[in-house]
Structures are given as structure tokens and as C-alpha cells.
Amino acid sequence: MSVILEFKDINKSFGEKQVLKNINLKIESNKKIGLLGKNGSGKSTLFKLANDLLTPTSGQVLVDGKTISSETKKLVSYLPERTYLSASMKVSDAINFFADFYEDFDREKAEKLLVDLQLDKNMRLSKMSKGMKEKVQLVLVMSRNAKIYILDEPLGGVDPASRDYILQTILKNFNKDATLLISTHMIADIEKILDEVVFIDDGQIVLQEDANKLREKENCTIDEIFRRKFYVR
């Protein structure tokens, strides 16, 4: 399998505080990978580095073997934990915006997903709740036929009743030849879909392993392994 995303000797500091420490991580294509860690462990920082929102203090981020550029951004579909759409936009404006900028954007899929998630495309984002806005962003991100989907806490602002439905939406709609890199601390919700898990703690990768092998080896769920590793000292 080819490597779609690679972090090479990455260090990231904010002033005196070093938040990522010598990260070396290879993400292979056609896999569903969970980046798991506590709050403040460095998950979002890693994703932001992969999306050109942060500049590494040292090291290199490679997407499909190339340094980040406007070309590599065509391959990545990123769902941040923030709501980034202008509040003055209608949902239909946001769809037009994505269709204009991303050649791989599937407008029909987006409109179908909006119906599935009961979102009105004529509604302004300023009139929507945080959860609704997050769903709109999820629709936009999942309607691209990207090579890699990077989802940062996609279940964070969603009510528990909708979580399973959102997860199914993600799974049903991402390009089957693509890689799904998903971060969350709600491990129990997503662990059944993962091929591989990466544990990050205090800015360091502490484990990268096949999800099934890890479960067999430890004879328990990934959620339990995670809790044992990070919360029970």
C-alpha cells in the first residue's frame, strides 16, 4: 500500500511550549485510521499541520509524497472542529462555493445528503445551531471525491442520538479508494469501523497498530485499551 500522508521528524512549538515532539507517522492509503488521544494531546495540531493551518517548527509534512501546496490540497478533504463557513451564507451558497473550488465535489451527493440529514439548503447558516452547521460542513466535506478525508472530532457537537447516523453517513459516503483519518475521544462510537489506530499522548505517537490485531493481543476493546493506557495509572 502506498503512503498518502507522512509526517517526517515533525516538531511544533508555540513559544516555549512544545506540543508535538519528533513525530514520525506514515498513513497508508485505503485505510480507516483513528487518531486517538486525550484532549490537548496534539491530535488537532497534527491535523492542522497536514492542512497548512500551522507551519512546523521543524520537519516535513508530505501528502502523496509531495510537500503541501495548492496541488496537494486538491487531494485532502478536511473537516475541522471549527465552523468555518461565513454566517451570511445560505447552505446553497456553501454548496456553490465548494463546487466552484473543488473539481471533485459531487453536487448531487451533497444535495441528497442534505435531504437525508433534514437540512434546508435555502436556510442561512446564521439561523442554524452549532450542530446543524457541523452537519452542513460534514455534508460538504464528504461530498468530495478526495484521496484522504481528515475528520477532526466529527461527532463532537452532535447529539448522541444522531452520532450513529452521522457515522453511517461518513462511512457510506467517502470515496472507497480513499483514506479516512479520524480523530476523536469517543472511541467506543467509532472503533468498530477502524482498520488501524494511532495513539497520541503528550505530543508523541505512542502506538500505531492494526485495530484487529491490537484487540486480539490485548483481548479487549480499543476503548478499554485506551482507558487503561491513559486514564488508569
By C-beta, is 98 or 199 nearer to other proteins?
A: 98
The SS3 of residue 189 is helix
Give residues in contact with other proteins (CB under 8 A): 14-15, 48, 51-55, 69-71, 73-74, 76, 78, 80, 82-86, 88, 97, 100-102
Pairing of strands 148-152, 76-79: parallel
Minimal distance, residue 80 CB to other proteins, in Å = 4
Report the residue number, 74 or 227, with the smaller CB distance to other proteins.
Answer: 74
With cell 473550488, the residue in question is: 101
| Comparison of 74 and 121: residue with beta carbon closer to other proteins | 74
Give the nearest distance from C-beta 88 to other proteins in angstroms: 7
Q: CA-to-CA distance for 227 and 76, rounded, in angstroms?
A: 31
Query: How many Å apart are CA 89 and CA 71, to the nearest integer?
Result: 27
Q: Which residue(s) pair with 62 in the sheet? A: 6, 67
**Least Å from the CB of residue 98 to other proteins:** 9
The residue (of 105 and 226) whose beta carbon lies closer to other proteins is 105
Q: How far is the CB of 52 from other proteins (least distance, A)?
A: 5
Question: Is the Cβ–Cβ distance between 20 and 12 less than 8 Å?
Answer: yes
Distance, in Å, from the CA atom of 129 to the CA atom of 55, rounded to the nearest integer, reads 32
